[in-house]
Amino acid sequence: MPKSTTARRRFRLPLADIQFLIITGLSGAGKSNAMKVFEDLGFFCVDNLPPALVPKFAELCLSSDGRIHRAALAIDVRGGEFFDDLFASLSQLEEMGVDYRILFLDAADDVLVRRFEETRRKHPLAQAGGVLEGIRAERQRLEAVKERSDKIIDTSALSVHDLRQEILESFIRGAREETLSVGIVSFGYKYGIPLDADLMFDCRFLPNPHYVEALRPLPGDSPQVRKFVLGQPATQEFMRRLTEMLDYLLPQYLEEGKAHLTLAVGCTGGKHRSVVLADELSSYLDAKGYAVNVRHRDIGKE
């Protein structure tokens, strides 16, 4: 069930000129690290607040005479049955004119299992079946919240530094630009798809430099590989169609109120074709005036 954009705009008041962020997601996906980043950025942070109290906290922020102009709340299934109050609280925020955003942190099941095993922590929903069953139960319970999220970050392959950069691009730098902030990530399908991608494009049909002996050891940002990939008629036609589609789509997202969009471009190993196309898209969108950040997730992997 999507957020009611009309309601949020209709009830927006001058007092609601505040960054109000709700952080949620899978246990072990990095909510604690995200909260530390927002604390460093000057946000007033509250961890594990019962959802029913979210409107009360928003009232406190609105009556603080500007002392609290950035707030971040971490909400998750540790709240037990109280977590079910979240959607009612979100509706109250919209009626109050609070223009909130939801950040959802996700990660692959195997990564979450490994993190729980390394820290020897118990998953909050784990029963006799163990950690994996708890993760699956939590993922199902959070499905509706994930659908309403403004930004999803997959932390499976992110370091703490990478997570900080994602947050800066999505909630700080992007918020200061009156344009759409676009994150572009190249990846290899053999290492799994990025879970936080809004749009994903498969370029495995293009001629592969991996099968050219002189190009195989070179990365996708080398001049030789770029020349090979961009010189293919199939690449030129694909880029023409892709940029035409983005020329139509991105203004629509901006008009709808979206602040950040993640585009993912994938090839087999994430070393050659996807890297070249991600860089080309970055240059194209930068020239169009979008705030662009590009990341090559798998370029250094074997």
Choice between 131 and 8, residue whose per-residue pLDDT is larger: 131
Confidence (pLDDT) at 227:
95
Average pLDDT of the chain? 84
Residues 10 and 89 in one domain: yes
Does any domain span residue 302?
A: no
| pLDDT digit string, tens, across residues 197-213 | 999 999 999 999 999 99
| pLDDT digit string, tens, across residues 216-267 | 999 999 999 999 999 999 999 999 999 999 999 998 887 766 777 899 999 9
265 forms beta bridges with 186, 201
Does any domain span residue 137?
A: yes
Angstrom distance (rounded) from CA 166 to CA 183:
9
pLDDT band with cut points at 50, 70 and 90 for residue 5: very low
Strand-by-strand arrangement of the 181-188 sheet: 199-202, 260-267, 181-188, 291-296
Range of the domain at 158: 5-176
Number of compact structural domains in the chain = 2
Confidence (pLDDT) at 64:
78
Q: Quick one: CA torsion of 138, 202, 182, 15, rounded to 10 degrees?
A: -30
Query: What six digits make up the tokens of 85?
Result: 């109050």
Residues 170 and 267 in one domain: no
Write down which residue in 141, 176, 211 finishes a domain: 176
Residues 13 and 98 in one domain: yes
Mean pLDDT to the nearest integer, 152-163: 89
Please answer whether residues 11 and 96 qualify as being in contact, where contact means their C-beta atoms are separated by less than 8 angstroms. yes
| pLDDT digit string, tens, across residues 32-90 | 899 998 888 788 999 888 888 899 999 888 887 778 888 999 988 765 555 667 888 99
Write down which residue in 134, 152, 176 finishes a domain: 176
Confidence (pLDDT) at 14:
38
Confidence (pLDDT) at 270:
94
Task: Please tell me what DSSP assigns to residue 61.
Answer: H
Does any domain span residue 301?
A: no
Confidence (pLDDT) at 222:
93
Q: Is the pLDDT of residue 135 over 80?
A: yes
pLDDT band with cut points at 50, 70 and 90 for residue 127: low
Residues 160 and 41 in one domain: yes
- The region that residue 257 occupies, defined by phi over 0 for left and psi between -120 and 50 for alpha, beta otherwise, is left
Residues 202 and 257 in one domain: yes
